[in-house]
Chains A and B, each alone.
Chain A
Amino acid sequence: MTPERGIRRLVRMPGRLARIQREVDDEMSFHLTSRIEALTAAGHAPAQAREIALREFGDLADARRDLTRIDRGRARRSTVSSWLSAVRGDLWYALRGVRRSPAFAATVVVTLAIGIGVNAAMFGIVDRLLLRPAPQIVNAEGLRSMYYRVTLSSMGTFTGDSRGYADYVDLAKQGTSFAAVGAYYPIPLSVGRGSSAGQVNSILATASFLPMLGVHPFIGRFFGADEDRPPIGVPVAVLSYAYWRRAFGGSSDVLGKNLELNGKPFTIIGVAPSGFRGVGTEPVDVFVPVSSLGGSLTSPNWDTTYGWQWLRIVTRLKDGVSPVRAAQEATTIFRRAHAKNDEESRATAVLASVIPGRGPNETKNAQLALLLSAVAAIVLLIATANVANLLVTRAVRRQREIAVRTALGVSRRRLLSQLITESTVLAALGGAGALIVAWGGGALLRRLVLPDFAPDDSLVDLRIFAVASVVALSCGLVTGLAPAFISQRTDFVGALKSGAREGGYRRSRLRTSLLVLQAALSVTLLIGAALFVRSLTNVLSIDLGYDAQHTMVVSQNLGSAGFDKQKTIAFMRRAREQVTAIPGVAEASVAVTVPFMSSWSTHMRVAGIDSLPPLPDGGPYVNAVSYNYFSTMGMRILRGRGFANTDVKGAPPVAVINESMASTIFRGRDPLGVCLFVGGPSAPCAQIVGVVRDTHRQSINAVQSAQYFLVEEQEVWSEAFNRVLMLRTTVSTDAVKRQVAAAMQQMEGALPYASVQRLQELVEPEIRTWRLGASLFVVFGSIALLVAMVGLYSVVSFDTAQRTHEVGVRIALGARSREILKLVVSDGLRSALVGVIVGVSVAALAAGAITPLLFGVSARDPAVFGLAALVLLVVAIVASALPAARAARVAPSEALRVD
C-alpha cells in the first residue's frame, strides 16, 4: 500500500472540512511521489527510495494534522469575512434605497413605529398587570393572597379579601400547609399636625409580613414579633425608599427619629429597599406594626374579633404543598371558626396569585388589558400588511431593475437576502421609532390604565425593549418575504424584454388579500371603538342622583386628635360655617357615610312590619346627616318634607327614606308617620317625615338601594361617631380644595390632615373601564383607519399609474372621464367591500367576548355596525378617488407616450 493511499484512507470528513483534508493529502502525496521518483531515477531501489523520502519528510500524521488545522482556520476566517462583506453590501444597498426614496422609507418607518410602539406600550401594561409581581419580592410564585368566597342571601356570591385579625391568627396557628402567614392593611394616615399636616400611604403589617416576602431592609431593620404584640404594639415605623428620599432627603441618620402618624409618635427603625411596596400596586410611604394602630383604627377588641373585616392575608406555601390542599385546609379552619354564622360557615377559601391583575376580582381590568392588547396586535397586523403591500408595490416597480441584476449574474439567494436586509433595515428603523412611541405613549398609557400603580423608577424597561426588538425583526422578515416571494416568481426575461407597458401588470392576489385584510381589521376596530364610545356616553348620562362634579368630600381623622363624639358634633357644626365662608363653597353639610366610599347597614325595625324582606342590593343602608344635606346634594324630596333646622337634639327624632325603600318595604302603604327603630331594643322612634329621590350608593350599575336618613345631631343611631363634610361647590378647583383643607387643619389649634376630594374622584374608578376602552379604541381605531387609508391610497394610485397606458387608450377611444373615475374607484371599493363583509362577520363572531365590558349597548348593535361599515367605505372612496381623478385628467397622447 502506498503511503498516499493510506493517508487518504484515514478518515472521511464532511463538506468543506473533507475538502481541506483532501487537498492536504493530495499535496503531501504529490510531494512524496515526486521525491520517490527522483530518488529512484538517481539509482535507489524503490523500497529504499520510499524510506528516504519518508524520513526527509518527517512525521506524516503530525504534518497532516497541522496543515489541516492551519487551512481550516484560514477557511473559517475567509468565510466570516466574505459573509460580513456581503452583509455590508446589502446594508449599503438598503441604506442607499432609503436615501433614494425618503418618502417611501418614512411611510414604512412611521407605520411600523406606530404599530410596534403601540404593542410595546401595551405589553408594558400587560406585563405589570398580569406577568410581574410587585418589585423586590423574592420567589413570588410561592405566595398566595387569601380570598374567601361567601354566598349571602341578600347580595349573592362575592369573593372578598378583607378578614378579621382573628382569622389571620387561626390560619397562622392552625395551618400546616403554610411556611409563613402574614396580614396587612393599606390605609392613608395623617402625618404631622396643623398647617404642615400631610397624608402618607401606610401599610399596617404583621411582623411576619415583610420577612415572608424575602425583602431585607435597605438600612436599619424591620420590626419583629416582640414589637407587634396585640393588643398594643410598639410604635415603630419602616419608611419606604421613595418616602425616605422625599421626606428625609435620603439621610442615613433618619434612624431613631420621630414621625407623628395619626397623632401618635412613631420611631423610625429602618428603610425598605428601593421600589418595595408590599404585594399591592399602590405607592407606599411607611410600614408600621398592625398592633401599633389596630386598636385606634378599628375597635379595642380588634385582635380577638372576627367582626372587623379589614386585613388582607398573604401566605407562603410550604414546599411541595399544592395550592388545592392549602385551600382545603384554609377552608376547614375558616368554617370551624365561623360555625355559628350560617352564611360564613359555608365559605370557601380561594388562594390567588399575588400578581396584581390575577386576583379573583380583577377580571374586568385584566379582560380590558387583554382586549386592548389584542386591539394593539390588530393595529400591528394592519401596519405590517400595509408595509408588506408597499414593499411588494416597490418590488413590482423595480421588476426591471431586478431582472437586470439577475441577468448580470446576481444569484437569487443574494437577491433574496438583499430584499430581506432592506426590509429589516426599515423594520429596525421602525423599531427604533417604536421605542420612542412606547416610551412616550407607554407612560401616558400607564397613567390612563393603571393610575393607582406606583410610578416606575426605571427609565428604560428592558423587557419592553426586548419585545419591541423581537417584533421589529419579525416584521422585517415577514414584510421582506412578501416582495421576495413576488420577485421569485417573476419572469425576468419577459420583464426585461418588454417595457412596463407590457410588463404584464396585474395586481397579484397577495396584494388584494393584504388590502382586504386591512379593511376587515379596520372595520373590526371601528366597531369596537363605536361600541365603547356608546357605552361611555351611556355611563356618563347616568343620573347618580347628585352632582358628583360639584360635590366635595372632606374627611379628617378627628379621633386621632382625641375628639369624642360630642366634641366631633360640635366641631362639625362650626366647621360647616367656617367652610361655607370660603369663596367657591356654596353649602356644607355633615354626613356619616359617603357614596362610593362608605356605607352602613345596622339593625333596624319598622313599626308594623315584623321582618324586612331581603332587598336586591342589601340594606337598608343608613346615613346620619345635618338638616341641609338634601339641598347640599341636590336630592329632591318627593313626598312629605326634608329635614329642617328645627330637627335638633331634644326635638322628636325624624327620618327620611328614599323611594326604593318606600317601594320595597312599604309596598304601596304610606310610609309617612311610621316609626323607625334604629339600634337595640330601647331604640327611640324616628318618625318618617319624607321620601327622597334615589341616589347611587356604591355602583353606577342601576341597582336600587334602599336607604334612609337620620339627623346626626339627634343621635338616634348611636354607633356612628365619625363624620365628614359634604360641600356643594360653585368652583371645584384644587385651590378651593387646598383652602378647605387648610381651614379644617387650623380650626382648633393644630389638627390632623383633612382630605378633600371631589365626589367625582370616587366615582371615576367605576367609570374607568369604559372611559379607557372608549379612548383607546378610538385612538387605535383611528390609527388603523389612517394606516389602511394610506395603504389603499398608495396601492390604488400605483395601480392607476401602471394603467396609465390602458387609461390613455380608453380615453382615446372616447371614454369619458366619469367612466374612468368609476373604473378606478370601483376597483378600490371592491377590496374595501369584501373587507367590510369579512370585518363585520368577525366582529359579530367576537361579540360574545366583548359583551361583559360594554354598558347599555348590544355587542351586535346594528347602528354601530352600519356606521363602521359606512365610515370605511367612505374612506375607501376618498382614498381611490384622488388617484382616479388624476388618471381621468391624463391626456391620451401623453399616456400613450409613456415608457
Chain B
Amino acid sequence: MAELELVQGTLDVLVLRTLSWGTRHGYAVARWIKESSGDALNVEDRALYVSLHRLEARGFVESDWGVSENNRKARYYKLTPAGRRELTAGTDRLTRYVDAVFRVLQAVPDGGGA
C-alpha cells in the first residue's frame, strides 16, 4: 500500500486526538500516529512538531518540561479546554469532508448521459 499525503489541517486533528487521551511528548505523539495508521500515513516528524507548536501558539495545547520514561528531559503537551472544543469541531469538519468525497465517488449521473 502506497503512503498517503495528508490534507491540510488533518494532521492538527490527529494530533489533538492523540493528546485527548492524556499528556504526551512529541516523540510519543509521532509514534502513536505512525503506528495506529499502520505506517500508512506519510508524515515527516518535522511537520508533526510544526503542528504541535502551532496548536500551542493558538492556545489549543500547552507544553511543559518533564522527565521521560527513559529518564531524559522532554517537552510534554497537554490539551487545553479550547483544544478539546477544537478537536470536536475538527473531527466534525473532517467527517463531513470525507462523507462529501464519498458521496461524489458513489454518485451515478441521471438518465445515462449523452
Residues of A within 8 A of B (CB): 23, 26-28, 30-31, 33-35, 37, 56-60, 62-63, 66-67, 70-71, 73-74, 77
Are A67 and B50 interface neighbours, CB within 8 A? Answer: yes
Partner of A35, one of B27, B54, B56: B27
* B75 and A74 contact, CB distance less than 8 A: no
Within 8 A of A (CB), among B1-35: 25-27, 30
A192 to B102, CA, bound (A): 94
Q: How far apart are B46's CB and chain A's nearest CB, in angstroms? A: 3
Distance to closest chain A CB from B26 (angstroms): 6
Among candidates A34, A57, A74, residue contacting B70 with C-beta atoms closer than 8 Å? A34
Contact of B26 among A27, A58, A59, A60 (CB under 8 A): A27
Selected contact of B50 from candidates A26, A35, A70, CB within 8 Å = A70
With both chains docked as a complex, state the minimum distance between the C-beta of B4 and any C-beta of chain A, in angstroms. Answer: 16
Across-interface contacts of B25 in A (CB, < 8 A): 30
Closest 8 CB pairs of A and B: A58-B44, A58-B46, A63-B46, A74-B57, A57-B45, A70-B53, A27-B75, A31-B27
Given contacts A30-B27, A70-B50, contact A57 B73 (CB under 8 A): no
Q: Are B49 and A30 in contact (CB under 8 A)?
A: no
- Within 8 Å by CB of B46, from A23, A34, A62, A71, lies A62
Q: Do A73 and B49 have beta carbons less than 8 Å apart?
A: no
Can you list 10 A-B contacts with CB-CB less than 8 angstroms, sorted by A residue number? A27-B75, A30-B68, A30-B72, A33-B72, A57-B45, A57-B46, A63-B46, A70-B56, A71-B56, A73-B57
User: How distant is the Cα of A62 from the Cα of B45 in the complex, in angstroms?
Assistant: 12
Which residues of B are found within 8 Å of A27, using beta-carbon distances?
Answer: 26, 49, 74-75
Q: Whole-angstrom distance from the CB of A789 to the nearest CB of chain B?
A: 57
Q: A71 is contacted by which of B26, B30, B57 (Cβ under 8 Å)?
A: B57
Closest to A55 in B: B44
Q: Give the chain B neighbours of A66 by CB distance below 8 A.
A: 46, 50, 53
Write out the residue numbers on chain A whose beta carbons fall within 8 Å of the beta carbon of B70.
34, 37
Query: Given A28-B49, A31-B30, A58-B45, A23 and B75 touching (CB < 8 A)?
Result: yes
Q: Note all chain A residues with C-beta closer than 8 A to B56.
A: 70-71, 74
Given A30-B25, A31-B27, A56-B44, A67 contacting B53 (CB threshold 8 A): yes
Complex Cα spacing A63 to B74, Å: 17
Q: Is the interface of B mostly helix, strand, loop or mixed?
A: helix
Please report B residues at the A interface, Cβ cutoff 8 Å. Answer: 25-27, 30, 44-47, 49-50, 53-54, 56-57, 65, 68, 70, 72-75
CA distance A56 to B35 in the complex (A): 14
* List of B residues within 8 angstroms of A74 by Cβ: 56-57
13 further A-B pairs in the complex, CB-CB below 8 A; given A31-B45, A58-B47, A67-B50: A23-B75, A27-B26, A30-B25, A30-B72, A33-B72, A59-B46, A66-B50, A67-B49, A67-B53, A70-B54, A70-B57, A71-B56, A74-B57
Docked Cα-Cα span, A28 to B46, in Å, equals: 9
Q: B46–A30 contact, CB under 8 A? A: no
Residues on B with beta carbons closer than 8 Å to the beta carbon of A77: 57
Residues of A contacting B50 in the complex (Cβ-Cβ under 8 angstroms):
63, 66-67, 70
Question: Could you tell me the distance between the alpha carbons of A74 and B61 in the complex, rounded to whole angstroms?
Answer: 12
Contacts of B73 in A (CB 8 A): 26, 30
If over half of A's interface residues share one DSSP class (helix, strand or loop), that class is named, otherwise mixed; here it is helix
A30, A33, A59, A73 pick with most chain B CB within 10 angstroms? A30
Contacts of A33 in B (CB 8 A): 72
- Smallest Cβ distance from B30 to chain A, in angstroms? 7
A31: contacting residue among B26, B57, B65, CB under 8 A: B26
Complex-state Cα separation, A56 to B45, whole angstroms: 6
> Complex Cα distance A37/B68, Å?
14
Cα distance A77–B58 in the bound complex, in angstroms: 11
A37: chain B residues within 8 A (beta carbon): 70
What residue of chain B has the Cβ atom nearest to residue A60's Cβ? B46
Q: How far is the CB of B47 from chain A (nearest CB, A)?
A: 7
Give how many A-B residue pairs fall within 8 Å (CB-CB).
63
Residues of A within 8 A of B68 (CB): 30, 34
Task: Tell me how far the C-beta of B36 lies from the nearest C-beta in chain A, rounded to whole angstroms.
Answer: 16
Which residue of chain A lies nearest to B34 when distances are taken between CB atoms in the complex? A56
How far apart are B113's CB and chain A's nearest CB, in angstroms?
Answer: 45
B54 proximity list for chain A (CB < 8 A): 70
Give complex CA distance A444, B31 in Å: 81
Tell whether, in the assembled complex, residue B44 and residue A57 are in contact, meaning their CB atoms are under 8 Å apart: yes
Q: How far is the CA of A436 from the CA of B108 in the complex (A)?
A: 79
Complex CA–CA separation, A56 to B53 (angstroms): 19
Q: How far does the alpha carbon of A37 sit from the alpha carbon of B49 in the complex, in Å?
A: 20
Q: State the CA gap A67–B57 with chains docked (Å).
A: 11
In whole Å, how far is A675's beta carbon from the nearest beta carbon of chain B?
108
Question: B47 — which chain A residues lie within 8 A by C-beta?
Answer: 58
Q: Which residues of A contact B65 (CB under 8 A)?
A: 23
* A30→B69 CA distance, assembly (Å): 12
Taking the nearest CB of chain B, how far is it from the CB of A28, in angstroms?
7
Bound together, the chains give a CA A33 to CA B49 distance in angstroms of 15
From A74, which residue of chain B is reached at the shortest CB distance?
A: B57
Are the C-beta atoms of B49 and A34 separated by less than 8 Å? no
**Min CB–CB distance B99 → chain A (angstroms):** 31
What is the bound-complex CA distance between A27 and B50, given in angstroms? Answer: 12
Q: Which residue of A lies closest to B29 (CB)?
A: A31
Closest Cβ neighbor of B57 among chain A residues: A74
- Contact A30 to B75, CB < 8 A, known contacts A35-B27, A37-B70, A57-B45: yes
Chain B residue nearest to A34 in the complex (CB): B27
Is B74 a contact partner of A30 (Cβ separation < 8 A)? yes
Instruction: Give the docked Cα–Cα distance between A73 and B56 (Å).
Output: 11
Contacts of A31 in B (CB 8 A): 26-27, 30, 45, 49
B-chain residues with CB within 8 Å of residue A34 when the two chains form the complex: 27, 68, 70, 72
What is the CA–CA distance of A31 and B76 in the complex, to the nearest angstrom?
12
Q: Compute how far the CA of A71 lies from the CA of B52 in the bound complex, rounded to whole angstroms.
A: 11
Which residues of chain A are near B45, meaning CB under 8 Å? 31, 35, 56-58
Give the complex CA separation of A59 and B49 in angstroms: 12
A55 to B: closest C-beta gap in Å: 9
A67→B50 CA distance, assembly (Å):
6
Closest to B59 in A: A74
Report how far A30 CA is from B67 CA in the complex, Å: 11
Q: How far apart are the CA atoms of A55 and B29 in the complex, in Å?
A: 18
CA distance A292 to B52 in the complex (A): 86
Chain B minimum-CB-distance residue to A54: B45
Query: Which of A27, A56, A62, A63 neighbours the largest number of chain B CB atoms within 10 Å of its CB?
Result: A27
Interface centre among A23, A34, A35, A57 (most CB of B within 10 A): A34
Cβ of A63 and Cβ of B49 under 8 Å apart? Answer: yes
Q: Report the bound CA distance from A31 to B50 in whole Å.
A: 14
B66 to nearest A CB, angstroms? Answer: 11
A30 to B75, CA, bound (A): 9
With both chains docked as a complex, state the minimum distance between the C-beta of B41 and any C-beta of chain A, in angstroms: 12
A437 CA / B30 CA spacing, docked (Å): 68
Contact A26 B75 (CB under 8 A): yes
* C-alpha gap A206/B6 in the complex (Å): 83
Alpha-carbon separation in the docked complex, A62 to B73 (Å) = 23
Q: Name the residue of chain A whose CB is nearest to the CB of B72.
A: A30
Considering only CB atoms, which chain A residue lies closest to B56 in the complex? A74
Q: How far is the CA of A59 from the CA of B27 in the complex (A)?
A: 16
> Closest residue to A30 on the B side, CB-wise?
B74
Contacts of B46 in A (CB 8 A): 57-60, 62-63, 66
- The distance from the CB of A26 to the nearest CB of chain B, in whole angstroms, is 6
CB distance from A107 to the nearest CB of B (A): 46
Question: How many whole Å from A102's CB to the nearest CB in chain B?
Answer: 41
**Which residues of B lie under 8 Å from residue A35 when comparing CB positions?**
27, 45
CA distance A67 to B75 in the complex (A): 13
> In the complex, what residues of B have CB within 8 A of residue A26's CB?
73, 75
Which residue on chain B has the smallest CB distance to residue A77?
B57
Distance in angstroms between the alpha carbons of A67 and B72 in the assembled complex:
21
A555 to chain B, nearest CB (A): 83
B45: nearest chain-A partner, CB-CB:
A57
